[in-house]
Structure 1
Amino acid sequence: MSDRFTVLVTGGAGYIGSHAVLALHDAGWPVAVIDNLVTGFRWAVPDDVPFYEGNIADAALIAKIVTEQNIGAVMHFAGSVVVPESVENPLKYYDNNSARSRSLIEAVIANKVPHFIFSSTAATYGIPEVSPVREDTPQVPINPYGMSKLMTEHMLRDVSAAHDMNFCALRYFNVAGADPQARSGQSTIGATHLLKVAVEAALGKRDSVAIFGTDYDTADGTGVRDYIHVSDLAAAHVLALDALIADPTQSHFLNCGYGRGFSVLEVLDAVDRVTNLKINRKMEGRRAGDPDSLISDNGAIMDRFPWKPQYADLDQIVTHALAWERKLGDIQQEQSA
């Protein structure tokens, strides 16, 4: 393993980025992290991983890291991810997610880093007319978050055609759960992910869980989503890196999901089942731009990579999220002590 280059993980102190660091680490890859710690946590990065606090748009810092750490690939997770906030503050999202990604890509090219893996999203599809959603489904984002990610996808495609760099853009569906060994998990204060909110409610950190819309065209009237365990998603990134190295002429746009969905009520029922409690549910009106159902067609990633999801079980996802939420309470107490 010692002859391997190092992988730079941007946003490696955040939710998905920290799991990618663990997956790379477990696979024997040397890793370095850059994170501005606006939403990430320094303690989420293992002590033996070189850490740089800073902005991904800082070209001089990126050049320094590439030289000091022998960077041969970048996994790019840094960015803003809250859809309603993107509607209220679009310029923040076009800055954090598009403009800074452009600066990062420019630094990657200038420093001759040959491989780039991008954290994209199913939000680039908007409200698709078909479900399951394939990679060739029209991408018509309905909010600045989705558009800011789609702009970066376009940049990567164009830049890779003009320079010696290949890339993989992974379009995530609904990421959930936590590291099975409870080394990391969703730690963001005020996170809006359904499962995060539900386990907080189950542990008494919230009074209730809001259900936004009960009149969707689904079996029980609540929105259906494709929930993917964060550790399975992280494993897909390591396989993407292997694929980029194996064939530097190929780039990839791939969905990351399990190809099946659960409704909001089914997720809450799973939390009730695992905890043997009953979460207080509050029915609210629909949120603008929420599709009835958003499920991935994951045939392409299954065909292209030797990806074998290990945690495609809703109760297991809940169990890992719950274990992390309990541990997070202890970490927060230590940090405030």
Structure 2
Amino acid sequence: MTAILVTGGAGYIGSHTVRHLMEQGHEVVVLDNLQTGHRGAVLTPHFYEGDISDAALITEIVKKHRITAAVHFAALSLVGESMKFPTKYLEANTVKSQLFVHALVDNGVKQLVFSSTAAVYGLPTQVPIPEDSPTHPINPYGLSKLFIEQYLQMMDTLHGLKWVALRYFNAAGASEDARIGEAHDPETHLIPLVLQTALGQRESLSIFGNDYNTPDGTCVRDYIHVRDLADAHARALQALENGKPSGSYNVGTGQGYSVLEIVEAARRITGREIPTILAPRREGDPDVLVAQVDKIAADLGFTAKHSDLETLITSAWNWHSQLSC
């Protein structure tokens, strides 16, 4: 049994990954400052409320639990907020992550899986997007994550830290038993917004532009179920344990759904009307963002198994519905 430290384990993707790792028999320790996470989503008894930049706390956790690997989710992740407060994002995501990584290395932890993002690519030069595409982030959030990937490369060279960075596309869905799901404040992700509108918690859903170069004019995105994301993290940890070299991987499905496809599927699954209004396009929104997924399939043996549209929306609907009861 491996002892794994998960930062941000009270968050959406983090809590699902904690559960998955526990089901595999690992001892999982969570560190979260609960700024955006939820204490009730933490299913392990080993929980610490604190900051990733607290080297003394990291040292205490690593020594007490004999941590051998870490999964690093803790970060601010709102693109719009990052545009307004770039320094806040670089400090919280990049600077604090550097301090966290140093504390791990100083205490002998040499394996790290890092929660990165497709935002490191910026506006793609080709679709599906391969991992060797140019990385030109167009917002401070993506930049803050890219900086960490580059820093991890240096820490591998200097200290032998082995790492995997997982570049997510659009996370969605909830646990099969509706025990944990997606709850952000403010909520910015499409599927939760659609379902909140279905529940009457919002008057309508804003569709930002219908003149994109896509079949129905709305943006197309690659949606990956959070259960699949959790599996990708577990496979990345196992790859590092097996001696695989460090590197970055896309985590997606290789296909996309448009905004209108999501809305229509949600109407069918929920049986609700889901009113929509057309709003102006958002600056910097690409027409299509879809992952090329050959590399992660070949190296980590990962393919998405729960990311069909029906499962994505039904699992999320079951979770949101029981919340509103």
Say whether the fold is shared (TM-score over 0.5).
yes
| Alignment partner, residue 78 of structure 1 | 74
The answer to whether structure 1 residue 310 and structure 2 residue 311 are counterparts is no
| Alignment partner, residue 26 of structure 1 | 23
| Alignment partner, residue 49 of structure 2 | 53
Q: Distance in 1 between matches of 2:323 and 2:112?
A: 31
Q: Distance in 2 between matches of 1:215 and 1:308?
A: 32
| Alignment partner, residue 335 of structure 1 | none
Length-normalised TM-score, structure 1: 0.95
Runs of 5+ in structure 2 lacking a partner? none
Task: State the shift of 1:164 in Å.
Answer: 2.4
Q: Distance in 2 between matches of 1:259 and 1:25?
A: 28
1:143-164 CA distance string (max 9 Å, x none): 0000000000000011011112
Q: How does 1:230-309 map to 2 (within 5 A)?
A: 230-247=226-243, 250-309=245-304
Counterpart of 1:209 (choices 172, 195, 205) is: 205
Counterpart of 2:141 (choices 128, 132, 145) is: 145
Task: State the shift of 1:96 in Å.
Answer: 1.0
Paired AA for residue 87 in structure 1: M
Task: State the shift of 1:95 in Å.
Answer: 1.0
- Secondary structure in 1 matching 2:68: strand
Runs of 5+ in structure 1 lacking a partner? 331-337
- Secondary structure in 2 matching 1:301: helix
- Secondary structure in 2 matching 1:57: coil
Tell me if the contact between 2:224 and 2:304 (Cα under 8 Å) persists in the aligned partners: no
Task: State the shift of 1:298 in Å.
Answer: 0.4
Length-normalised TM-score, structure 2: 0.98
Q: Distance in 1 between matches of 2:322 and 2:145?
A: 32
| Alignment partner, residue 156 of structure 2 | 160
Flag as ranges the 4+ runs of structure 1 deviating above 6 A.
none
Counterpart of 1:7 (choices 4, 9, 14) is: 4
Tell me if the contact between 2:115 and 2:166 (Cα under 8 Å) persists in the aligned partners: yes
1:95-138 CA distance string (max 9 Å, x none): 11101111101101111101000000000000012100000000
Tell me if the contact between 1:187 and 1:328 (Cα under 8 Å) persists in the aligned partners: no
Tell me if the contact between 1:13 and 1:33 (Cα under 8 Å) persists in the aligned partners: yes
Q: Tell me how large the CA RMSD over aligned residues is.
A: 1.0
Paired AA for residue 74 in structure 1: A
The answer to whether structure 1 residue 325 and structure 2 residue 286 are counterparts is no
Task: State the shift of 1:308 in Å.
Answer: 3.5
Q: Distance in 2 between matches of 1:99 and 1:91?
A: 10
Q: Distance in 1 between matches of 2:123 and 2:243?
A: 33
1:226-253 CA distance string (max 9 Å, x none): 00001101100000000000016x1121
Q: Distance in 2 between matches of 1:320 and 1:134?
A: 29
